[in-house]
Structure 1
Amino acid sequence: MNRWHIQWAGATALALGMATAGHAQILIGQTAGFSGQVAAGVKETTDGAKLYIDMVNAKGGINGQKIELTSLDDKFDPKIAAENARKLIEDNNVLALFLTRGTPHTEAMIPLLEKHGVALVAPSTGAMVLHQPVRKYIFNVRATYQREAEKAMTHLASMGISRIAVVYADDSFGADGVAGAQKGLAGAKLTPVALEKFDRAKPDFTAIAAKVAKADTQAVLIIASGSTVVEANTAFRTAGSAAQIVTLSNNASGGFIKSLGANARGVIVTQVYPNERAVTYPMVKEAQELAKAKGAGDITPAMLEGYAAAKVLVEGIRRAGPKPTREKLHAGLESIKKLDLGGLEVSYSPEDHTGLDFADLSIIGTDGKFRR
């Protein structure tokens, strides 16, 4: 029996979640933008997690108990995300939250996590604010945005590119990425030819695109999500800029490539997991084989993120024992030391909830796939 279900926010969805909750043995909650600008990436990360959790459930679950994930759509709105988290924690009584999406969205949940002692495993964001200072109930798996942005700037500088612009959303995610970009630029003794922010809720790139084109920019780092990056890319091309487009791993999905259309080729996307075709990594090989068995198509970087996240979640639940509680799960996660995810190791302690530090670069090829 397939115990997975996706439920949309609203009274009907919540009622359905509460009705099925009575039959679940290990309840896990997720709120993310299943609709809106990050929907493609959210679907892929969730599909990747599903590959691993379905396999665990098919083998009898954990200590004979199967995992049931209740997923609510927050439309990539921080306010809805916080309310969804409240419903999941207080009404559905989930053991943990899992694979949330977005920096301000996840920040909005922190008071709830602390109030109820609920662990959030693998938020799909690399925000430094979730790493330092250590957030007791947040267990990161992926590397930080600052590390990604810094690596991107260092790479561009090593190629002789010096006229670099940084365009970012006016939220905590944007500010976080800018901090990493500025560190990388400073290391290369460069300053951005343009540093422009835009309204995350109502982006308008007309004036910014004109500035980027006038500055004869060679490359633009766009710190934004999904369809917003697509809009920015189109605006730059319309303004006559031929600048190399660079963005972060929150856009490392097959759906993002499709949304770029004819503008996809040559876009650089930072990555926080190994090449999704690198079977020398056992984790990649495992995910590929499970996807093939389910007829799920090719593995994407976003699916690998979800897959790795599920491995960490499952290990934490295992360590929580036959009758897992929120407190036991927290202790189980903090006890993880050098957990081999399949070529990458994760460790936690009360002083360190960072997880992985892997960062790489990819470029979208003519075949519409990420190339390393």
Structure 2
Amino acid sequence: MRKIKSLIAATWLAAGAMAGAQAAPIVVGQVGPMSGLDAAQGRAYAVGMQLVFDRANKAGGVNGHTFSLVRKDDGGRPEDTVSATRQMLAQDKPLVLAGYFGSRNVADLVKSGLLEKDRIALVGYRTAEIRPETPLLYSVRASLRDEINKLTEHLATIGITRLGLLYEEGPGAAALLAASDEAVRRAKATLLAKAAYPAGTANTAAAVQTFLKTPPQAILMVASGAAAAAFIEDYRASGGAAQLFAHSGADIEQMSKRLAEEQMQGVAIAQVTPSPYKISSRLAKEFSDTAAAQKLEVPVSYAMMEGFIAGKVIVEAVRRQGARPTREGVVATLDAMETYDLGGYVVGFRPGMRSGSRFVELSIISGSGKIRQ
């Protein structure tokens, strides 16, 4: 009898240990700008992911697993992105990475070999460049090429064909310029002037002078929110009259904090997620309901919606693996996730195609400073 009791106790202990191992939190690692020029976006992206993870955890987890988001601040500095990621991989053992920001930051991370060495996926990132398809990088948004095509097509339909391009200096500039030239030719338009600003800064004074000397009808701004805001402020104050069109990374919320309503009036911004401010789809309603039930550390924004989408993709990748998710399993699952409908927003990946969406729409700022589609 004593042996039987000991056997039963050992069985229960083993079962408890297995359950405990199964219930161990899945760590999602984010290294991003929690301070610096893009801090509002970096933190909002994190909150968006956390909303999804909290909701999953409250429902009992996924296949017995709960989620824990670990954040590290790189201040927007590429060298800190790499060092903080290396530290996180060693200490926190994340299953997947998410929510990275910056063209050089992501490029340097890829170049470091850390992703390949650890066979870990990066799901959801923001850059202002046209990146080649790279293994282990999964974007949950439309590509910058899709945004530029959308902007130039829209301008062509309203008869605006003399364009300017503001962009960030860096290794990705050549691909951006090539894609812009191609999109402009397709729209039967002309790029009258191109002006760059130093990477990682908001120093656009020289660019303003370029467009004042050679005035286009419209300027495409492939710039961060801080740089776009600085450009608009200086350009409008100097008498610049071109219509202004920004890519999604410009962050409409960040610009509206810095600029007056009259400076923002008429600015159009490409958006690569559904609006977080209106119920236009099942995804938008889920986001709105989830955010409304929480005390948020930053205001609702497009960056938060994008983080919400990245979080849902990560949770789905874990769910599809069953009881024993692995880093390799995340990669294989994502590569097979061809059409995942989040509720009116479809994400799809396959080998050789890791830009997960083609969704692009335009937001235009009204005279009262309100967003309208």
The two structures share one fold, judged by TM-score above 0.5: yes
Pick aligned residue for 1:119 from 121, 137, 141 = 121
What is the CA-CA distance between 1:24 and the residue it aligns to? Answer: 5.8
Q: Closer, same or farther in 2 for the Cα pair 1:203/1:279, shift >3 Å?
A: closer
SS of alignment partner, residue 128 of structure 1: coil
**Which position in structure 1 is the counterpart of 2:234?**
235
SS of alignment partner, residue 29 of structure 2: strand
Q: Greater shift after overlay, 75-84 or 43-52? A: 43-52
The correspondence of residues 147-166 of structure 1 with structure 2, limited to 5 A, is 147-166=146-165
Letter in 1 for 2:328: E
Does the Cα contact within 8 Å between 1:41 and 1:251 map onto a contact in 2? Answer: no
Q: Closer, same or farther in 2 for the Cα pair 1:367/1:87, shift >3 Å?
A: farther
The correspondence of residues 346-361 of structure 1 with structure 2, limited to 5 A, is 346-361=347-362
Give CA deviations for 1:223-255 in whole Å, capped at 9, x if unaligned.
111211111112212322122222111123423
**Which position in structure 2 is the counterpart of 1:190?**
189
Greater gyration radius = 2
Q: Closer, same or farther in 2 for the Cα pair 1:177/1:359, shift >3 Å?
A: farther
What is the CA-CA distance between 1:135 and the residue it aligns to? Answer: 2.1
Aligned partners of 1:368 and 1:49: how far apart in 2? 28
Give CA deviations for 1:151-202 in whole Å, capped at 9, x if unaligned.
1122122222233211111124544443333222111222212111121245
Identity %: 31
What is the CA-CA distance between 1:334 and the residue it aligns to? Answer: 2.2
Aligned partners of 2:368 and 2:39: how far apart in 1? 23
The correspondence of residues 30-109 of structure 1 with structure 2, limited to 5 A, is 30-109=30-109
What is the CA-CA distance between 1:60 and the residue it aligns to? Answer: 1.5
Aligned partners of 1:271 and 1:197: how far apart in 2? 22
SS of alignment partner, residue 217 of structure 1: coil
Aligned partners of 1:32 and 1:239: how far apart in 2? 34
**Which position in structure 2 is the counterpart of 1:310?**
311
Q: Does residue 297 of structure 2 align to residue 289 of structure 1?
A: no
TM-score norm. by structure 1 comes to: 0.86
Q: Closer, same or farther in 2 for the Cα pair 1:93/1:281, shift >3 Å?
A: same
Q: Closer, same or farther in 2 for the Cα pair 1:344/1:207, shift >3 Å?
A: closer
Does the Cα contact within 8 Å between 1:252 and 1:270 map onto a contact in 2? Answer: no
Does the Cα contact within 8 Å between 2:123 and 2:310 map onto a contact in 1? Answer: yes
TM-score norm. by structure 2 comes to: 0.86
**Which position in structure 2 is the counterpart of 1:370?**
371
What is the CA-CA distance between 1:266 and the residue it aligns to? Answer: 1.7
Letter in 1 for 2:240: S
Aligned partners of 2:335 and 2:355: how far apart in 1? 11
What is the CA-CA distance between 1:77 and the residue it aligns to? Answer: 1.2
**Which position in structure 2 is the counterpart of 1:323?**
324
What is the CA-CA distance between 1:259 and the residue it aligns to? Answer: 2.4
Does the Cα contact within 8 Å between 2:317 and 2:330 map onto a contact in 1? Answer: yes
Q: Greater shift after overlay, 296-305 or 257-266? A: 296-305
Letter in 2 for 1:245: L
What is the CA-CA distance between 1:323 and the residue it aligns to? Answer: 2.5
Aligned partners of 2:252 and 2:44: how far apart in 1? 7
**Which position in structure 2 is the counterpart of 1:3?**
none
Does the Cα contact within 8 Å between 1:276 and 1:300 map onto a contact in 2? Answer: yes
Q: Greater shift after overlay, 320-329 or 296-305? A: 296-305
Does the Cα contact within 8 Å between 1:38 and 1:226 map onto a contact in 2? Answer: yes
Q: Closer, same or farther in 2 for the Cα pair 1:165/1:79, shift >3 Å?
A: same
SS of alignment partner, residue 99 of structure 1: strand
What is the CA-CA distance between 1:100 and the residue it aligns to? Answer: 0.8
Q: Closer, same or farther in 2 for the Cα pair 1:348/1:188, shift >3 Å?
A: closer
Letter in 1 for 2:127: T
Does the Cα contact within 8 Å between 1:37 and 1:228 map onto a contact in 2? Answer: no
What is the CA-CA distance between 1:118 and the residue it aligns to? Answer: 0.6
Task: Name the Cα RMSD after superposition.
Answer: 2.2
Aligned partners of 1:220 and 1:48: how far apart in 2? 31
What is the CA-CA distance between 1:43 and the residue it aligns to? Answer: 2.2
**Which position in structure 2 is the counterpart of 1:274?**
274
SS of alignment partner, residue 193 of structure 1: strand
Aligned partners of 1:328 and 1:250: how far apart in 2? 30
Q: After the TM superposition, which parts of structure 1 deviate over 6 Å for at least 4 consecutive aligned residues? A: none
Does the Cα contact within 8 Å between 2:270 and 2:360 map onto a contact in 1? Answer: yes
- Structure 1: segments with no counterpart, 5+ residues: 1-22
Aligned partners of 1:58 and 1:233: how far apart in 2? 44
Does the Cα contact within 8 Å between 2:169 and 2:197 map onto a contact in 1? Answer: yes
Give CA deviations for 1:303-362 in whole Å, capped at 9, x if unaligned.
221111111010111123222221122222223232111112222222322211111111
Q: Closer, same or farther in 2 for the Cα pair 1:169/1:240, shift >3 Å?
A: same
Does the Cα contact within 8 Å between 1:41 and 1:250 map onto a contact in 2? Answer: no
Aligned partners of 1:87 and 1:224: how far apart in 2? 30
- Structure 2: segments with no counterpart, 5+ residues: 1-22
SS of alignment partner, residue 123 of structure 1: strand
Does the Cα contact within 8 Å between 2:130 and 2:176 map onto a contact in 1? Answer: no
